[in-house]
A = this chain, B = another copy of it.
Amino acid sequence: MRKTKYFLSTKKEKPSNTHSISHQLMIRSGMISQSSSGIYTWLPNGIKVLKKVIKIIHHEMKINNAIEINMPILQSSKLWIKSNRMKTYGKELFQIIDRNKNNLILSPTHEEIITQLVKKKINSYKSFPMILYQINTKFRDEIRPKSGILRSREFIMKDAYSFHTNKKCLNQTYKKIYQSYIKIFKKMNLKVKISKAQNGVIGGNISHEFYINTINFKKNINKIKEKKNKIEIGHIFQLNQVYSKIFNAYIYTNQKKKKNLEMGCYGIGVSRLIGAIIEKNHDQNGIVWPISIAPFQVSIIPINFFKNILVKKITEEIYFKLKKYMKVFLYDTNEQPGIMFSESDLIGFPYKIIISDNTIKKKCIELQNRKTYSKKNIKIKNILTILLKKIKSKKKYF
């Protein structure tokens, strides 16, 4: 991608009213832009990361034979009255009255709809176990939205639901997805903590949450207070028969008796996960993207792109060669080297290629690693092979 053809607006300064590092860096690096309180537009750098994260999640869900569907954002309130969650969710539930005076809600989760769907569509016990999932926009009317996408009112989630004829089978699937979650987060260079948790308003008995701890800065008059923050990025639940009883979803046993289905549900806060990754993958200069989810794997920074004909020629050749194999960001601009370096570090491209008269003379370019800042002169003819090797070695989980 040429910078001149891209939509990118970065900031040197810390934006006001941002208390978490990920929020600051996402705004500064042109990933998101606030449109209302707790509501954000995803800008091109943000979308690219989001799509890579989503791809990894799809991949792992498919390994578990989970089947993708897409449930609606608008739900009839009747379903939520039936499950009594209209009350238990309380004010966090966005409510709407349509033109025909019907009550609707904006989905924060889909246990009601999916249980009804499975009841309506599946008749045979042979269909189970079945895991259905979606990656979709969800809503929560937070009283105090804060920290950017870490606590927003509109967010993206992966929610999976499993159905079983017995508890043992539910437990097996639960364990499989537990392991998948560790794998998913590891692919994004995120070591998560896991603990047994309360099931809360969602129901059921057993649940585990996946989270990280991070530091939150709070300015109080004259001193900055540090506060440990827990960021939950995933939560899995054994719901057992809570919803299958409410919505009457059952199978017939061998003895021709009705038996309610066992159910599990498995969430990942996809947009929040990106915030969590940044909390754990940054330094004082900006984001340090893991190769697997970087918006671009490498940036090319030519020095005197417009003034030095040879620099321009070599730059274009390298750009043309690399972009067939990886995502490359090209500074085809008139900017000062320092500006391009610090913007590259802020955005977090895992590698920088610096092309200048000095190194060209030696038929070299300079390759810099974002994480370690180590630099190396590399023969121009070897750059593709070397980069491919570096990128692939980090991609071992794919």
Binding site for B on A (CB under 8 A): 4-7, 9, 33, 35-37, 39-44, 46-47, 50, 65, 67-76, 91, 94-96, 98-100, 102, 104, 106, 113, 116-117, 120-122, 126-127, 130, 132, 137, 139, 141, 143, 153-154
Most buried by B among A46, A65, A121: A121
Closest residue on chain B to residue A124 by CB atoms: B4
CB neighbours (8 Å) of A116 from chain B are 35
CB neighbours (8 Å) of A137 from chain B are 73, 137
* Known contacts A67-B7, A121-B7, A126-B4; is-contact A74 B39 (Cβ 8 Å): yes
* Known contacts A91-B99, A121-B9; is-contact A36 B104 (Cβ 8 Å): yes
CB neighbours (8 Å) of A117 from chain B are 33, 35, 41
* Known contacts A4-B126, A7-B121, A33-B120; is-contact A113 B41 (Cβ 8 Å): yes
Closest residue on chain B to residue A98 by CB atoms: B141
Complex contact A42–B70 (CB within 8 A)? yes
- Whole-angstrom distance between the alpha carbons of A127 and B52 in the complex? 26
Sorted from nearest, which 4 A-B pairs have the closest CB atoms? Answer: A42-B70, A9-B121, A36-B76, A39-B72
Q: How far is the CB of A59 from chain B (nearest CB, A)?
A: 14
CB neighbours (8 Å) of A76 from chain B are 35-36
- Whole-angstrom distance between the alpha carbons of A130 and B91 in the complex? 41
Main secondary structure of the interface of A (DSSP, over half): mixed
Complex contact A67–B96 (CB within 8 A)? no
Closest residue on chain B to residue A39 by CB atoms: B72
CB neighbours (8 Å) of A139 from chain B are 73-74
* Known contacts A41-B72, A104-B36; is-contact A6 B91 (Cβ 8 Å): no
Q: How far is the CB of A161 from chain B (nearest CB, A)?
A: 11
Closest residue on chain B to residue A114 by CB atoms: B41
CB neighbours (8 Å) of A37 from chain B are 102
Complex contact A73–B126 (CB within 8 A)? no
Residue contacts A-B, CB under 8 angstroms, 30 given = A4-B126, A4-B127, A6-B67, A7-B67, A7-B132, A9-B122, A33-B121, A35-B76, A35-B113, A36-B72, A36-B74, A36-B102, A40-B72, A41-B69, A41-B71, A41-B72, A41-B113, A42-B69, A42-B71, A43-B69, A43-B121, A44-B67, A44-B68, A47-B68, A73-B137, A73-B154, A74-B139, A96-B106, A99-B141, A100-B143
Complex contact B35–A72 (CB within 8 A)? yes
Q: A4-B127, A94-B98 are in contact. List 10 more A-B contacts (CB 8 A).
A: A7-B67, A7-B69, A7-B127, A36-B74, A37-B102, A41-B69, A42-B71, A47-B70, A74-B153, A106-B106
Most buried by B among A72, A113, A116, A117: A72
- Whole-angstrom distance between the alpha carbons of A87 and B229 in the complex? 44
* Known contacts A35-B113, A95-B96; is-contact A73 B74 (Cβ 8 Å): no
CB neighbours (8 Å) of A42 from chain B are 69-71
- Whole-angstrom distance between the alpha carbons of A324 and B75 in the complex? 39
* Known contacts A96-B94, A121-B7; is-contact A73 B72 (Cβ 8 Å): no
Closest residue on chain B to residue A97 by CB atoms: B95
- Whole-angstrom distance between the alpha carbons of A94 and B106 in the complex? 11
CB neighbours (8 Å) of A72 from chain B are 35-36, 39-41, 154
Most buried by B among A9, A35, A116: A35
